[in-house]
C-alpha cells in the first residue's frame, strides 16, 4: 500500500490561488492523531465485517482493512493485512463467535500489507482457497493463488455475489470487488484505488484514470476501501479523485509554461537551457508540504509527465540531463529549435 497523506490531497484545492492550510503537527511526517480512530473489529452491515490489520502508519492510515463477507458460516475474506499477530487473533475470534470459517480469500493486489497475512491464514484455515489476479505476478513466496478473471463472480453465502473487476493503475494486478446484493445495500470494495482518507498513488496514470472511470459505473452507494473509513458516497469520491488528478495535470502544465521565468535553483533554468526537473516541479507544487514527503509526491508527478509525453504535449530535452532526476521537461510548443528532445511515444 502506497499513498499520499491526507494533507497533500487537501492542498490540491488551494495551490493555484491561495496558500494551503496544512494541519499543524509536531511530527514532520504525519500525526496519526489527526485520523479518527477505527475499532479493530466492526460489523458494518449484516454481511460485512471489517477487521483492521494492526499496522497503522503514515502510509497505511489506521491500518489495512480486511473484510469478512457473507452472513452464512462460510465467509469470503478480502485481503489479509501485513502479517501482524493481532490480525489473525482478531480474525479467529470473530469467526469463532459466530461458529464460522473462511472458505475463500480474495486478494485485491500484491502489496505486502495486503498479502503478508497469508501464512497465518493458511495455518489457521488450511482448506481456504486464495484468489489473486495474475497469480505469478509479484509472488516471491510462491503462494498457491488461484487466478481471478475479469468479471469473475463469487457466490456469497447468505445471498449475493462478489464480482471481480480488473482495475489497474495502483498496481497492474489490482482488482475491485462489486458486491451485488438484493434487499440490502451492497457496495464496492475499492482496494487501494480509492481510500477513506487522502489520495492513492499509482504505477500508471492513464490506466488509473481509466479504472476510476470504470469504478464510477460500478457503485451507487457505499465503498469499502483498503485503508480508512467507509465511503458513504462512493461515486462522488471517485469523481473527486478524477478531478484531483486533472488539477494536478493542469498544475504541471502551468509550471512548465513558467519555465523561462524560474531560477535554476528551482529547477527552471540553467544557462540558456530552459525546462523543469522532476524535483524542481515537486518543490514548487508541494512547497508547503514537509520535504520528507517530496519523494512519494514525485511518483505522481513523474506519472503525469509520462502521460503528457505519450500524448505528445511535453518532451524531455536530451541535452539537459543524465537520468530521470536530471531530465529537463518542456512543453512541446516551447522547445522550438533551442535543443534536441526525446520523441513522443505516440
Residue 225, beta-bridge partner list = 191
∠ CA 94-158-144 to the nearest 5 degrees? 65
* CA atoms of 277 and 283, how far apart (whole Å): 10
More confident residue, 132 or 289: 132
Taking residue 207's Cβ as centre, other Cβ atoms within 10 Å add up to 18
Which stretches of 185-233 are DSSP H helices?
205-216
* CA atoms of 113 and 116, how far apart (whole Å): 6
Q: What is the pLDDT of residue 109?
A: 98
Q: Which of 13-27, 36-50, 114-128, 168-182 has the lowest mean pLDDT?
A: 13-27
User: And the C-alpha cell for 62?
Assistant: 489506521
pLDDT value at 339 more than 60:
no
Closest CA to 111 of 200, 42, 209: 200
More confident residue, 182 or 283: 283
Closest CA to 308 of 224, 233, 250, 231: 250
Across the range 170-180, mean pLDDT stands at 97
Across the range 217-244, mean pLDDT stands at 96
pLDDT value at 259 more than 80:
no
CA torsion through residues 208, 210, 211, 217, sign: positive
Across the range 44-49, mean pLDDT stands at 95
Q: What is the pLDDT of residue 15?
A: 27
The set of long-range contacts for 286-290, using a CB threshold of 8 Å and a minimum separation of 24, is 286/8, 286/11, 288/11, 288/19, 288/20, 288/22, 289/7, 289/8, 289/11, 289/22, 290/28, 290/29
Percentage of residues of the chain with pLDDT beyond 70: 79
pLDDT band at 326 (very low <50, low <70, confident <90, very high): confident
Would you call 113 a catalytic residue per the annotation?
yes
Q: Which of 30-44, 50-64, 107-121, 127-141 has the lowest mean pLDDT?
A: 30-44
CB 83 within 8 A of CB 119: yes
Please state the separation of Cα 305 from the chain's center in Å: 19
* CA atoms of 336 and 325, how far apart (whole Å): 23
Q: What is the pLDDT of residue 258?
A: 81
Across the range 180-209, mean pLDDT stands at 90
Rg (CA), the chain: 22
Interhelix angle 205-216/294-310, nearest 10 degrees = 90
Mean pLDDT, rounded, of the chain: 84
- The per-residue pLDDT for range 198-226, each reduced to its tens digit, is 888 899 999 999 999 999 999 999 999 99
Verdict on whether the full-model pTM lies above 0.85? no
DSSP state of 341: B
* CA atoms of 177 and 174, how far apart (whole Å): 10
Q: What is the pLDDT of residue 346?
A: 22
Instruction: Please tell me which residue in 113, 173, 192, 327 is annotated as part of the active site.
Output: 113
Domain boundaries of the chain, sorted by first residue: 3-246, 259-335
User: And the C-alpha cell for 137?
Assistant: 505476478
Q: What is the pLDDT of residue 323?
A: 66
> What single string gives the DSSP state of each residue in 302-337?
HHHHHHHHHTTSEEEEGGG-SSTTT-EEEEHHHHTT
- Strands (DSSP E) contained in 236-288 are 269-270, 273-274
Q: What is the pLDDT of residue 322?
A: 58
Closest CA to 275 of 259, 298, 263, 264: 259
More confident residue, 145 or 14: 145
Give the list of residues 6+ apart from residue 67 with CB closer than 8 angstroms, or none: 48, 49, 50, 51, 77, 78, 79, 189, 224
pLDDT value at 264 more than 80:
no
Name the architecture of domain 3-246.
4-Layer Sandwich (3.60)
pLDDT value at 13 more than 90:
no
Taking residue 72's Cβ as centre, other Cβ atoms within 10 Å add up to 13
Fold of 259-335: Arc Repressor Mutant, subunit A (1.10.10)
* CA atoms of 281 and 270, how far apart (whole Å): 15
CB 166 within 8 A of CB 155: no
Amino acid at each position: 500500500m502506497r499513498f499520499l497523506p491526507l494533507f497533500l490531497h487537501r492542498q490540491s484545492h488551494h495551490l493555484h490561488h491561495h496558500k494551503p492550510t496544512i494541519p499543524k503537527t509536531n511530527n514532520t511526517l504525519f500525526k496519526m492523531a489527526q485520523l479518527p480512530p477505527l475499532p479493530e473489529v466492526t460489523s458494518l452491515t449484516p454481511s460485512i465485517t471489517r477487521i483492521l490489520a494492526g499496522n497503522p502508519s503514515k502510509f497505511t492510515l489506521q491500518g489495512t482493512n480486511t473484510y469478512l463477507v457473507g452472513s452464512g458460516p462460510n465467509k469470503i475474506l478480502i485481503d489479509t493485512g501485513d502479517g501482524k499477530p493481532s490480525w489473525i487473533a482478531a480474525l479467529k475470534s470473530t469467526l469463532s463467535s459466530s461458529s464460522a470459517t473462511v472458505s475463500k480469500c480474495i486478494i485485491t493486489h500484491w502489496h505486502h500489507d495486503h498479502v503478508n497475512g497469508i501464512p497465518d491464514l493458511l495455518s489457521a484455515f488450511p482448506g481456504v482457497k486464495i484468489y489473486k489476479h495474475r497469480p505469478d505476478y509479484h509472488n516471491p513466496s510462491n503462494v498457491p493463488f488461484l487466478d481471478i478473471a475479469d468479471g469473475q463472480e463469487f457466490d456469497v453465502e447468505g445471498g449475493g455475489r462478489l464480482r471481480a473487476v480488473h482495475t489497474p493503475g495502483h498496481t497492474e494486478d489490482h482488482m475491485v470487488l462489486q458486491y451485488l446484493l438484493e434487499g440490502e445495500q451492497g457496495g464496492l470494495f475499492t482496494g487501494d484505488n480509492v481510500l477513506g482518507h487522502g489520495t492513492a498513488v499509482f504505477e500508471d496514470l492513464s490506466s488509473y484514470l481509466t479504472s476510476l472511470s470504470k469504478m464510477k459505473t460500478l457503485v451507487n452507494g457505499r465503498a469499502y476501501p483498503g485503508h480508512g473509513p467507509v465511503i458513504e458516497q462512493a461515486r462522488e469520491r471517485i469523481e473527486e479523485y478524477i478531478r484531483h488528478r486533472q488539477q494536478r495535470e493542469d498544475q504541471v502544465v502551468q509550471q512548465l509554461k513558467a519555465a523561462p521565468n524560474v531560477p535554476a535553483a528551482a529547477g527552471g533554468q540553467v544557462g540558456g537551457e530552459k525546462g523543469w526537473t522532476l524535483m524542481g516541479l515537486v518543490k514548487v507544487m508541494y512547497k508547503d508540504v514537509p520535504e520528507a514527503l517530496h519523494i512519494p509526491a514525485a511518483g505522481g508527478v513523474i506519472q503525469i509527465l509520462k502521460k503528457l509525453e505519450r500524448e505528445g504535449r511535453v518532451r524531455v530535452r536530451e541535452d539537459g540531463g543524465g537520468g530521470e532526476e536530471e531530465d529537463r521537461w518542456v512543453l512541446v510548443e516551447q522547445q522550438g529549435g533551442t535543443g534536441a528532445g526525446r520523441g513522443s511515444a505516440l
